[in-house]
Structure 1
């Protein structure tokens, strides 16, 4: 699981939120990597190159808008996510087709 980096002084001011921002202050303890302060993102925290950008299940996440796109998927490496713009009737047809082809669908 990837480390969640918190913004400097996120607990002190609610308006800052927890979204990461690089500390730029001259005397910033976080910027100077002092002990007891939140960690800063750096090279060593990256995820492995072969698993980068994949769904947590290990499949490549593909957005599907129609049945043709569903048929082009490789069920061994790719899984689908049916677009929200697809209606109920066509979604049911796509789910049946996916079951037939052995393709995993994330949002059933």
Structure 2
């Protein structure tokens, strides 16, 4: 019998917005914990905005895993792709946004040789070469 593999479940994450950010332009939406002594949010009254807590987190065994079961590894230079040579079953490459087209092409060719999956292989690549 095959070993039980933990199914990847990504929990639904709420957008935790700062209290009264919808009422005042000067209050940004980014979450800040309410600290007031009479705050209904801090005291967790029924019907009020929910606060972030540890229960919203993903399972430790599947945290940061992609839907294909691999982990993303960012490639910033052609030398970084060599790090994944022995770990191509566990990690998938993600090309950094500041790479040039020529460098991207070299990295993708090397990834195909060593069997590393590149998740954003078509990003910023010309569809046809111009001579």
TM-score category (smaller protein): 0.7 to 0.9
In 2: Cα distance, 1:3 partner to 1:106 partner = 26
- Across the aligned residues of Structure 1 and Structure 2, the Cα RMSD in angstroms comes to 2.1
Return the structure number with greater helix share. Answer: 1
SS of aligned partner of 1:15: coil
Q: What aligned pairs does 1:23-62 form with structure 2 within 5 A after superposition? A: 23-55=34-66, 58-62=69-73
Q: What aligned pairs does 1:64-79 form with structure 2 within 5 A after superposition? A: 64-73=75-84, 74-79=87-92
Instruction: Give the length in aligned residue pairs.
Output: 108
In 1: Cα distance, 2:26 partner to 2:114 partner = 49
Q: Which runs of 5+ in 1 are unaligned?
A: none
When normalised by structure 1's length, the TM-score is 0.81
**1:15 CA drift (Å):** 2.9
Aligned to 1:91: 104
In 2: Cα distance, 1:5 partner to 1:56 partner = 24
